[in-house]
Homo-oligomer: A and B are copies of this chain.
């Protein structure tokens, strides 16, 4: 018996049950009585949400991220922890790796430490099948589950996303409008956010009536030198391109190294756009135009949503933030 059962049986949202438990006045007396009677009927003890009342709470939030050495994830974790501290919460971070079994184990561990909520950072937490996401839905029955850059529609799961589709669409469109005809797309991951970016690229190509060619969408190794070598190889085999859109800044750095090797001038013969607006984009010469996914805003929004959830407010399950193109020297934008 859990809060989800109560909400189902009473025919109200989980947020409403939470409001009743928290003594929030924005609940009608009729609803309040209905919820309380269902609780008595099914024998539900509100031990978890009682924490919202300051009873039994450790004021601790669990954060899960796949890989703390990924600069985007590391920055998100940094901003999350800073903002949690401002709100009087401590945080525990678990770096779970990419295996489902470890993700499940760590979530269980956090629940056993009685955290008030969990935040999953990065779309790698959304699995391909419903069955594999069951552990997240289960956790959401006892505590709020916040997801950054992934989306599951389910009660008590709250997602904050950046609009990766739109950002890649915009940049592809802009390159095409400037007359680039052979726009190469480089990516490493087929995560939720990876797929959003890829479909933004495809739409951008199609909107401009350019041919959508399989060989122009390259899955890359996860390091600069190997990606550079791969680009040299496909180029030597005859593939030609006048623009590169990369799903990560380091792939854009690899494209810069490729251009140098082949004596292509950037941006005139080859335009290059990176993603994440990380420190890498300002290391090269020329510096790389890159899409900023506003990791700080994403993190702050996640925490403010969480605080409203913990106070028992009704909060939308999905918040989307738009990205910006930070124009530097590798494009003629």
With a cutoff of 8 Å between Cβ atoms, the chain B residues found around residue A93 in the complex are 68, 92-95
Of chain B, the residue at the smallest CB distance from A84 is B95
Contacts of A71 in B (CB 8 A): 69, 71, 74
Q: Does any Cβ of B come within 8 Å of A8's Cβ?
A: no
Point out the residues of chain B lying under 8 angstroms from A78, CB to CB.
67-69, 95
**A250 interfacial contact with B, CB 8 Å:** yes
Chain A: interface size category: 35 or more
Instruction: Verify A257–B285 contact, CB threshold 8 A.
Output: yes
User: Would you call A9 an interface residue if the criterion is a C-beta within 8 Å of the partner chain's C-beta atoms?
Assistant: no
Task: Check: A134 CB closer than 8 A to any chain B CB.
Answer: no
Look across to chain B and name the residue whose beta carbon is closest to the beta carbon of A252: B283
Q: Which residues of B contact A81 (CB under 8 A)?
A: 68, 95
A47 within 8 A of B: no
Q: Is the CB of B90 within 8 A of A92?
A: no
* A46 at the binding interface (Cβ < 8 Å): no
The docked-state distance in angstroms from the alpha carbon of A105 to that of B91 is 12
Residues A60 and B109 in contact in the complex (CB < 8 Å), given A67-B78, A74-B74: yes
Which chain A residues (100-150) contact chain B, with CB distance < 8 Å?
A: 102, 105-106, 109, 113
Shortest distance in angstroms between A197's beta carbon and chain B's nearest beta carbon? 21
Q: Which residue of B lies closest to A75 (CB)?
A: B69
Residues from chain B with Cβ under 8 Å of A68 in the complex:
68, 74, 77-78, 81, 93
Cβ contact of A90, chosen from B82, B109, B250, B283, cutoff 8 A: B109
Q: For the complex, what is the distance from the CA of A253 to the CA of B279, rounded to whole Å?
A: 11
A90 to B105, CA, bound (A): 9
Q: Mark A204-248, 1 if CB is under 8 A from B, else 0.
A: 000000000000000000001100000000000000000000000
A284 within 8 A of B: yes
Select the residue from A71, A97, A224, A283 with max chain B CB neighbours within 10 A: A283
- Check if A262 is an interface residue, CB within 8 A of chain B: no
Contacting B at CB under 8 A, from A135-179, are none
Contacts A81-B95, A109-B60; A224 near B282 (Cβ below 8 A) = yes
Other than the given A85-B102, A92-B113, A93-B95, 17 more pairs (CB < 8 A) read A68-B74, A68-B81, A68-B93, A69-B78, A71-B74, A77-B95, A78-B95, A85-B97, A90-B106, A92-B93, A92-B94, A224-B282, A224-B283, A256-B285, A279-B280, A284-B285, A285-B285
Ordered by A's residue number, 27 sampled pairs between the chains whose C-beta atoms are within 8 Å are A67-B78, A68-B77, A68-B78, A68-B81, A68-B93, A69-B71, A69-B74, A69-B75, A69-B77, A69-B78, A71-B71, A78-B95, A91-B94, A91-B95, A92-B92, A92-B93, A92-B94, A92-B113, A113-B113, A224-B283, A279-B280, A280-B280, A280-B283, A283-B283, A283-B284, A284-B284, A284-B285
